[in-house]
Structures are given as structure tokens and as C-alpha cells.
Amino acid sequence: MPRFAVLQCSDDTDYVNKKYGGYFGVFLRLLADDGEFWDVFHVVDGDFPNDEQIGVYDGFVITGSRKDAFGNDDWIRQLLTLLNKVHLMKKKILGICFGHQILARVLGGRVARAVSGGDLGVRIINVSSSTHFFGNLKTPTTLSVIKCHQDEVHELPSDAEVLASSDKTRVEMFRYQDHIMGVQGHPEYTNDILMNLIDRFLQHRLMEVIQLLIASPNGVDILSRYAKKNVLMILFCVDEYVQESHAMEVRSKLAIEQPDTELWKKLCTSFLKGRL
């Protein structure tokens, strides 16, 4: 029976744990079919498959992460070593967000902060009209996907193919030969997962600002004045790439904007399971 492994590069949130059984459960909803074996390795915590285990899998999925794909944390360097081995074995590898970026790095590409700033929310991406990679899937010319990132792929090797782009990000999808595909967005995300992430961010950022004010001269007095006047402070998102007002705008749009989840499911599973 086919066997696949998820290389999890982030910790589970309480919300995702409770509703979906962790991010592993989220990926199973998108990718798993009856009659398959799926395992998870929490590589962010140093849990990696050994060389013998690598051989039993037909394909690997690399998740998103709060870490930078251009970073040099010990686990990231170990992940690069693992992916080079899997690449040489021509195993199928699907990279999502951070996974997309780390695959570009494995292939000799370059990843850095997004030129036009991070992306958050549901975005329409444009599928290349010249690609034949999707075979007979009849992929539409545009796809909607949930985005949540501040880094992007700046350069790919010359023999990699850009499969999709957007007005925000030049490399939304790419492939290398027939065994590697990267997706900058989050096909596995649902609107409620993104909404929960935004809520957690806003709460966390507010507490950061309050703590900074309390620690500063006259900080308590400043907080008291804001509370009395009911003034909304302008906050900034993680790494200062999206303002709070934008996060709130994205949150309000999630009720009407929907990702093309079923199309992504068909596309990703067809690639991973050799049906393209």
C-alpha cells in the first residue's frame, strides 16, 4: 500500500489540535485516501526519519513554519540534508509555504523577505498558460488559495518551472522535474484556521504593546489615558509586515472569500500520487 510522510515544521496550535487533531490531521483531510499509510515526523522538534525509513515512503509533504527557510537553525540544516537525500532518490516531495521555500533552497535557489511585503488572506493566483505539468486535470487559469507568509522565493534554478504567480508573489508555485512541487500558499488551510491565527496574532501583539508601555516611563499613565478615551492603537503584525488594520480587514473578508479547496485537493493528490 502507498505510504507517505508529513514533515511537520511547526507546532500545533491549541485550536487546530482540538478541532483537527493537529496540523497532521489538517493535511490528512486534504491529501489522504483510503488504503494509504500516513506518518508524521515533527522535524521542528528534531524528529526525523532515518535512512532506512526514508526508503519505505512513496512521497513526503513539508508543512509551513514560523521559522525562515533561509535560517540556519539546527533542525533546518538537518532538514536540508534529509531533503537532498530524498531528492536524489526521486521521491515525490510536496512543499507548502515554508516547505515550498526550503525546496527552492535545496535546489540552489534563493529565499528572502518578500519584496512587496508579506501576504495574508485569500489570494487569486494565475496558472501559467505555457505549462503542461498538470496533464489532463483541466486546471483553471486562476486558483484561490489562503496565504500567510512574509518570505518568498526570489530565485530558482534555470531548469525549474514556475507554474503560477500573482500580482503579489512571482513564484506562487513551481516544479522541478516530475518529483518536486512547491506551493507558496496554504491549500490545507480552512478559513476558520486562518481566522484563529489572526485572532491569536492580534491578542499576542496587543499584549506585547501593553508590556512595552508598562516597562516605559509613564507607560501606565499612557495606558490609562487610552483606556479612558477608548482610542484604538495602531499595532503591527509579526515582523512588522502587516498592520493590524489589514489583519482586521482580512478577517472581515473571510466570510465571503473562499479558497478553491477541492481543486487544490485534486491537484496536490494527483502530483503526490503520480497521477499527472
186 an active-site residue? yes
179 an active-site residue? no
Contact predicate 188/197, CB 8 Å:
no
Please tell me which residue in 186, 237, 244, 268 is annotated as part of the active site. 186
Please tell me which residue in 9, 42, 97, 152 is annotated as part of the active site. 97
Please tell me which residue in 100, 188, 237, 244 is annotated as part of the active site. 188
97 an active-site residue? yes
Q: How far apart are CA 90 and CA 178, in angstroms?
A: 8
Mapping DSSP onto H, E and C, the string for the chain reads CCEEEEECCCCCCHHHHHHHCCHHHHHHHHHCCCCCEEEEECHHHCCCCCHHHHCCCCEEEECCCCCCCCCCCHHHHHHHHHHHHHHHCCCEEEEECHHHHHHHHHCCCEEEECCCCCEEEEEEEEECCCCCCCCCCCCCCEEEEEEEECEEEEECCCCEEEEEECCCCCCCEEEECCCEEEECCECCCCHHHHHHHHHHHHHHHHHHHHHHHHHCCCHHHHHHHHHHHCCCCCCECHHHCCEHHHHHHHHHHCCCCCCCHHHHHHHHHHHHCCCC
Provide the annotated active-site residues: 97, 186, 188
